[in-house]
């Protein structure tokens, strides 16, 4: 967590209040609503930042128009993450010293710092708003790996991983990280990345996971050797969660030693080609996705579902197919770790998870 903020004299907010009246829930997708979500997932800094952005939004008129046009879709489009990343990027560069001090925990002048940033960098915020977030959160790898452990127990095959929305491909190195999953050690002992989410419920099966091949796709793949790309990933880290930054640094180091294979393209077209490729006898093909489906259009989501169903009909016990998804449920009330397997087409939720992998509530498999 950030160090305690020293007392600092800050002026009262001078922007218009857009909050809902007392006792009235803020509209879904509003910055006020998204600030409540951020507080619930454990980042009070970002929650306070978003409230300040709401108060000072008109300081950046072009960005304000874009944000307000999102309406109820702002949550699924992760507008809060885009805003925080833009301001975090400015803070990391030192372009707005008062903002840098805010992110460093030197004061709590949220409104003053945000107002200066919005007024002077409307173009920067606008640029970040128009790009899909790329957190490439390593903490989610623990849940994905637990799903692979279920498949390893049930089928015993080595895995061929296909990840859509892979970003920099850090989770394609899933077998190169060390895990503590409810007291069950897994992954690579001694790895520079160790992930130990708070665990609720019974542990996952203690089954070794072997990955023979891993490949991903992204509309805008990030190069782990490009400082600008790494800085973009760092900007999506919440300032009051330094453990995530340390995990990211470790995962980037591993990725430079073991470069993940990430193709540039759209998920549906790429997956159609990959699923049409002949499966190897004794290999378990697994499609992975984490916090991706909310960014895809209805047509692409339906196409992917149809492809999986078709490929599933061709799956056999010697050439099985599975899909592991780490996504919000339809009502965006909780994150589900969902496992689908073929032959058979069984579909089950095996865990509920923190959006960034801080805890896992195992449902059993």
pLDDT > 90: percent of the chain:
82
Partners of 213 in beta bridges:
160
Tokens (6 digits) for 201: 């419920």
Interval 304-317 mean pLDDT:
95
C-alpha span between 216 and 261 (Å, rounded): 6
- Whether 344 has a pLDDT exceeding 70, the answer reads yes
The side-by-side arrangement of strands in the sheet containing 321-328 is: 198-200, 359-362, 346-353, 335-342, 321-328, 283-290, 158-164, 211-218, 262-264
Residue appearing with tokens 């697994």 = 286
Q: Are strands 346-353 and 359-362 parallel, antiparallel or unpaired?
A: antiparallel
Whole-prediction pTM: 0.89
Q: How far is CA 32 from CA 41, 46, 119, 346, in A?
A: 15, 11, 20, 39
pLDDT of amino acid 13: 47
- Whether 176 has a pLDDT exceeding 70, the answer reads yes
Query: CB of 180 within 8 A of CB of 194?
Result: yes
C-alpha span between 222 and 288 (Å, rounded): 18
Interval 20-40 mean pLDDT:
75
Residue appearing with tokens 């579902």 = 305
Q: Using pLDDT thresholds of 50, 70 and 90, give the confidence band for residue 135.
A: confident
Query: CB of 312 within 8 A of CB of 343?
Result: yes
Any residues with CB less than 8 A from the CB of 161 and at least 6 apart, and which? Answer: 172, 174, 211, 213, 214, 215, 216, 286, 288
pLDDT of amino acid 3: 36
- Whether 2 has a pLDDT exceeding 60, the answer reads no
Tokens (6 digits) for 192: 């520079």
Query: Mean pLDDT in the chain?
Result: 91
Q: How far is CA 342 from CA 279, 313, 335, in A?
A: 13, 7, 23
Interval 35-62 mean pLDDT:
95
Query: Could you please report the per-residue DSSP string of 126-157?
Result: HHHHTS------GGGHHHHHHHHHHHHHHH--
pLDDT of amino acid 25: 62
Range with the lowest mean pLDDT among 69-73, 82-86, 169-173, 353-357?
Answer: 69-73
C-alpha span between 273 and 333 (Å, rounded): 34
pLDDT > 70: percent of the chain:
92
Residue 212 or 332, more confident: 212
pLDDT of amino acid 365: 62
C-alpha span between 232 and 227 (Å, rounded): 9
Interval 179-205 mean pLDDT:
97
């Amino acid at each position: 967590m950030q160090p305690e903020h020293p007392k600092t004299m800050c002026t009262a907010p001078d922007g218009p209040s857009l909050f809902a009246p007392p006792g009235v829930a803020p509209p879904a997708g509003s910055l006020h609503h998204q600030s409540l979500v951020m507080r619930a997932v454990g980042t009070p800094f970002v929650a306070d930042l978003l409230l300040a952005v709401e108060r000072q939004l008109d300081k950046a008129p072009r960005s304000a128009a874009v944000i307000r046009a999102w309406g109820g879709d702002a949550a699924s489009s992760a507008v809060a993450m885009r805003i925080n990343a833009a301001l975090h990027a400015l803070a990391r560069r030192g372009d707005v010293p008062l903002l840098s001090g805010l992110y460093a925990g030197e004061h709590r002048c949220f409104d003053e710092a945000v107002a200066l940033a919005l007024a002077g960098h409307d173009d920067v915020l606008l640029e970040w708003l128009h790009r899909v977030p790329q957190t490439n959160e390593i903490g989610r790898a623990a849940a994905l790996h637990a799903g692979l452990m279920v498949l390893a127990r049930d089928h015993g095959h080595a895995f061929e991983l296909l990840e859509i929305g892979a970003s920099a491909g850090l989770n394609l190195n899933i077998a190169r990280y060390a895990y503590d999953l409810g007291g069950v050690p897994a992954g690579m002992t001694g790895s520079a990345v160790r992930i130990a989410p708070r665990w609720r419920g019974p542990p996952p099966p203690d089954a070794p996971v072997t990955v023979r091949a891993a490949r991903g796709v992204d509309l805008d793949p990030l190069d782990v050797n490009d400082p600008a790309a790494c800085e973009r990933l760092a900007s999506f880290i919440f300032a009051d969660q330094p453990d995530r930054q340390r995990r990211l640094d470790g995962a980037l180091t591993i990725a430079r030693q073991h470069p993940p294979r990430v193709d540039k393209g759209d998920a549906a077209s790429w997956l159609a080609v990959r699923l049409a490729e002949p499966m190897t006898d004794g290999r378990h093909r697994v499609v992975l996705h984490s916090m991706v489906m909310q960014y895809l259009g209805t047509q692409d989501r339906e196409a992917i579902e149809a492809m999986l169903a078709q490929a599933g009909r061709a799956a056999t016990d010697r050439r099985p197919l599975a899909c592991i998804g780490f996504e919000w449920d339809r009502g965006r009330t909780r994150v589900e770790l969902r496992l689908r397997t073929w032959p058979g087409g069984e579909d089950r939720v095996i865990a509920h998870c923190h959006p960034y992998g801080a805890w896992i509530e195992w449902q059993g498999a």
